[in-house]
Structure 1
Amino acid sequence: MHNTSAAPPLRHPDVRLAARLAASAAAVDGGVMSNAEFLAWFGERQREQAQQVSRIPFAELRDWGFDPDTGDLRHRSGRFFAVQGLRVRSDFGPVREWAQPIIHQPEIGILGIAVRDIGGVLHLLMQAKSEPGNVNGVQLSPTVQATKSNYTRVHGGSAVPYLGCFRDCPPGRVLADVLQSEQGSWFFRKRNRNMVVEVGPEVEATEDFCWLTLGQVNALLGSENLVNMDARTVLSCIPDWQSGSDGDGEAADSARTGSLHTDTEIRSWITRRRAEHEVATEPLPLAEATGWHRTEKAIAHERGLFFSVVAVDVSSHRREVPAWSQPLLEPHGIGIAALLVKRIGGVLHALVNARVEPGFLDVLELAPTVQCTPENYAHLPADDQPPFLEEVRRRQPGRTWFDTVLSEEGGRFQHAQSRYLIIEVGDDFPTAVPEDFRWMTRCQLDTLLRYSHHLNVQARTLVAALRSL
């Protein structure tokens, strides 16, 4: 019989909070649900939530249509999202000017994980959720994953479970609450509220939900296409329970004072790169996006690169709405998101990139060392290939700490996957790096994650993965 008495509210920063998170991270099996029980439950959820997703011509989209004047693809309600054109001029990368389709979704959604003390150990309330763009249908999701259009029920469907835990949460029970971006190459200034809140014994897991320890969720991050993107970004916003250590027990002060660059130097570098990079974006009618052509079933680039916009029809008896149709953005190729790590002065550092993407709210965010789809660069000369891509390709298996293919957001993207890697480099790898790169400690990354728009969504996945090791 588990002790389900309400725990005191979580507060941050709080040494006791770090200890509670560390205890949950150390609980890698058992608790409310054993690992074997979870796999059986998750398999049943996959069978119960099976969706039928089929590609359709744009003309068969229900409640969606192309604007006759601009060619923009919109929902008849004016809500949810739209596919529009964007003209971009930049001083960053091998191509300095281009046009593209981009998803415009100005609403701020909620991505939230509820945590609860059960038997003296913090458990996370996770959801088995199907998305039309997932390669395998159902993935492990946060407690709540909802756009404003969804939770205000524009679609006329059922209410979002557990939403009140986040919209009406007392401040003293909030563990994390921060606005974070999504893919800046595919979304225009898209943000979600990433939240972690503590709840009491009155919150129980219903059919499509389960209680897992932090250790169990961390272990599942290594499974291909299991923990979805929205869960990963919320996990990264949980304060690092090692309290700034580098993973081998060094104290926070050691990790901070042992950093190659001070916190002030890092902040100054980010500010300088944002001020010095020139990026101009201008909304453009989708019909005028140069180099992109619309057929009956796709909007695609003339080179066959990057991505296409397609339409799908979806039926599912386990969603807020049982059947609908919608556009999805379909990437061409599997992306690479790789983080190089190295001990400098005995302290673990990660090499991050100040990356410009046209959809970012503030010019750039910190990205993994390498973030690209290699096929998109195959036609370019060697000097225009992404920096450090060859180091990733030549990685040694014994130095590869994390290597898993994970899905990007399945509600807007069709079969979007990236190969996430954490690779240790040797002592001979230079600490002197190009100006758009910096070595940072885990403590410094954790500090930046408390604030909006500093680490991009791919970097946040890799922070969650690094903590899971």
Structure 2
Amino acid sequence: MVAPFRPSSRSAAESRLIDSWFAQGSHLRGAEHVRDWLSGMSRHAWMETTRAGLDELPGWTRDPETGFLRHHTGRFFGVEAVTVDHVGAAVPHWQQPIINQPEIGILGILVREIDGVLHCLIQAKQEPGNPGGGLQLSPTVQATRSNYTGVHKGRAIPYLEYFREPLGRRVLVDIRQSEQGAWFYRKRNRNMVVEAGDDVEAIDGFGWLTLRQLAELLSVPDLVNMDTRTVLACLPGGGAYWADAVAANGGFLTALARSADPAAPSVHTTDEVLSWITEARTRTELRVEKRALRGLEGWQERNGVISHHSGRFFSVVGVHVSAGGREVGAWSQPMIEPAGTGVIAFLVREIDGVLHVLTHARTEPGYADVVELAPTVQCAPENYAVLPDSARPRFLAEVLRSDRVRFDTVLSEEGGRFLGAQNRYLIVESDVDVARDDPEYRWLTLAQYDELLRHSFYVNIQARSLVLCLRSLAVV
């Protein structure tokens, strides 16, 4: 058995994070203990979600001209529609519904040392769209601006003050990041990790977990929610994370450790990667314009549901929600319901003894800046039955037929806006190659991802989840 990586020289901040990644033992020791905790929580934190027509949602109105669906307060979010023109793409023109949520919410995790090891304060939380309606491991605070400013007139959000007033506290992460550009129009959330004092305790519904525990729990389907994944992916990495190899056997873990070291060789320099992203954003001709939701080309509205005429892609549905243990006990809302389970995959390859990730420069209509770095493959395979063959992802077959799979877990997406949205997240070793000047793909190291994740709108949310999953392979 290969021992875990233990770097020999580290900065103080990196040292504390590394100790949490490789920590043994805690208040909640493993997957079974976490399941027991969640089982106990579910006896008094419950949620029931029932379907409803879009015109049967109390508190929501339809614009008489456009058919846009909006909350009566003008806050939270709305369902609108866009026309998309992507010059030169396999599908150059389409129309679709899209969620417009201009508010910047907070996704925040509190951390503190317990027995000398950094722990994360994690909330056991239900959302109406969670598969099976179960509790998931969520950030300390996961809230829209409308929620945390009290528009819903519900109970106050615990621990919010640590993120709204972080001045004077140690802030490890504070960065705006995008969310799904295929379903959201330029949505951003503030991803934060803030250190709390030793006197901060976990109230009912919250628990302290180490980074190692969270890494181990990533292999449990639908347990670590999307918001927790994106925040943890933004934690400082690279350098001393796994800069020293634990074993000189030249295996996968050694290549992974070297990938996190910015001093290790890479196929492209970070400056070259940044230039590639800028070039992709400059050459891409994308026009996204709002249009009426009523009479949307290729879409139909029947029985209070908006769906694509093919039955593929996604639908816009309404739900009534009743809940216990939430700030608000009942509400109604529209949601996006995807058709089928997606495939989100990194192809990885050892190059000069360093693990590299094959990264795609992807365009989506809801991105704030046209292109973001995405997984090698990001798609819903069933949708290609109604799309041209040229639209099929280049490396989908390689992902699906490979027997060199390092990570394979179905994880759900944000249950507050998406109903039952699940993707199969994979990390697959491969010998594929691309030309050094391929306009769509580049080989990146983990250290380069770490550098890009210090900035907004470079790495998309699906790739952020996979970066976290890739890091987890060092400790599980």
In 1, are the aligned partners of 2:259 and 2:446 still within 8 Å (CA)? Answer: no
Q: Contact 1:245 / 1:443 at 8 angstroms: preserved in 2? A: no
Q: Secondary structure at the match of 2:458?
A: coil
Secondary structure in structure 1 of the residue aligned to 2:223: coil
Q: Given the superposition, is the C-alpha separation of residues 253 and 47 from structure 1 closer, same or farther in structure 2, using an over 3 Å criterion? A: closer
| 1:416 matched to 2:416 | no
Q: Give 2:248's aligned residue.
A: none
* RMSD of Structure 2 on Structure 1 (CA): 1.7
Hey, what does 1:20 align to over in structure 2? 16
Q: TM-score, normalised by structure 2?
A: 0.92
SS of aligned partner of 1:179: strand
Question: By how many angstroms is 1:69 displaced?
Answer: 1.4
Q: Offset at 1:252?
A: 7.8
Identify the match of residue 208 of structure 1 among 190, 205, 213.
205
**How much has 1:266 moved relative to structure 2?**
0.5
**2:110–2:140 contact (8 Å) kept in structure 1:** yes
Amino acid at match of 1:54: T
Q: Per-residue deviation at 1:27?
A: 1.5
Paired with 2:176 and 2:261, the residues of 1 have a C-alpha distance of: 29
Q: Structure 1 residues 154 and 301 mapped into 2: Cα distance closer, same or farther (>3 Å)?
A: same
Task: Give the structure 2 partner of residue 259 of structure 1.
Answer: 266
Residue matched to 2:455: 451
* Partner residue, 1:39: 35
Q: Show the counterpart of 1:151.
A: 148
- Pairwise CA distance, 1:38: 2.5
Is 1:400 paired with 2:395? no
Once the two structures are TM-superposed, the CA of residue 430 in structure 1 deviates from its matched residue by 1.7
By how many angstroms is 1:431 displaced?
A: 4.3
Q: How far has the Cα of 1:286 moved from its partner?
A: 1.0
| Cα separation, 1, equivalents of 2:257 and 2:223 | 32
Q: Which amino acid aligns with 1:158?
A: R
Report the counterpart of residue 425 of structure 1 in structure 2.
Answer: 430
Corresponding position of 2:50: 54
Q: Deviations over 1:271-304 (max 9, x none)?
A: 0000000111111121142111112320011111
Aligned residue for 1:228?
225
Give, as a single letter, the amino acid of the residue that structure 1 aligns with 2:462.
Q
Give the gaps of 5 or more residues in structure 2.
Answer: 1-9, 244-252
Q: Name 2:382's counterpart in structure 1.
A: 375
Residue 297 (1) aligns with residue 304 (2): yes
Match of 1:114 among 110, 114, 134: 110
- Structure 1 residues 347-387: Cα deviation after superposition (integer angstroms, max 9, x where no partner): 11001100000000000100000000011112344433111
**Identical aligned residues as a percent:** 52
Q: Report the AA paired with residue 418 of structure 1.
A: N
Q: In the alignment, is residue 283 of structure 1 matched against residue 295 of structure 2?
A: no
Q: Secondary structure at the match of 2:186?
A: coil
8 Å contact kept, 2:261–2:447 = no
Farther off after superposition, 146-155 or 285-294: 285-294
Seen in structure 2, the aligned counterparts of structure 1 residues 350 and 92 have a Cα distance that, compared at 3 Å, is: farther
Q: Give 1:202 shift.
A: 2.2
Q: Secondary structure of the residue that 1:42 maps to in structure 2?
A: helix
CA apart distance, 1:201: 1.7
Distance in 2 between the 1:128 and 1:136 partners? 15
Distance 1:225 1:344 in 2: 33
- Separation in 2, partners of 1:438, 1:285: 38
User: What is the number of equivalent residue pairs in this alignment?
Assistant: 451
Q: 2:294 is matched by which residue type in structure 1?
A: A
**Cα 1:308–1:201, aligned 2, differ >3 Å: closer, same or farther?**
same
Deviation at 1:172, TM superposition (A): 5.2
Secondary structure of the equivalent of 1:136?
helix
Kindly indicate whether residue 314 of structure 2 is the aligned counterpart of residue 317 of structure 1.
no
Structure 1 letter corresponding to 2:407: F
Gaps of 5+ in 1: 1-13
Deviates more, 1:271-280 or 1:65-74: 65-74
- 2:157 paired residue among 152, 156, 160: 160
Distance (Å, rounded) in 1 between the aligned partners of 2:352 and 2:103 = 44
The one-letter amino acid of 1:230's match is D
Q: Offset at 1:435?
A: 1.5
Aligned 8 A contact 2:169 2:196 in 1: no
What SS is found at the alignment partner of 2:386? coil
* Secondary structure of the corresponding residue to residue 89 of structure 2: coil
Structure 2 counterpart of 1:64 = 60
Q: Deviations over 1:300-324 (max 9, x none)?
A: 1111111000001110021111011
Q: Which amino acid aligns with 2:207?
A: C
Q: Note if 1:438 corresponds to 2:442.
A: yes
1:9 aligned residue: none
CA positional deviation for 1:44: 1.4
CA distance in 1, matches of 2:62, 2:435: 50
Asked if the contact 1:72–1:286 (Cα under 8 Å) also holds between the matched residues in 2, the reply is yes
Amino acid in the other structure paired with 1:454: Y
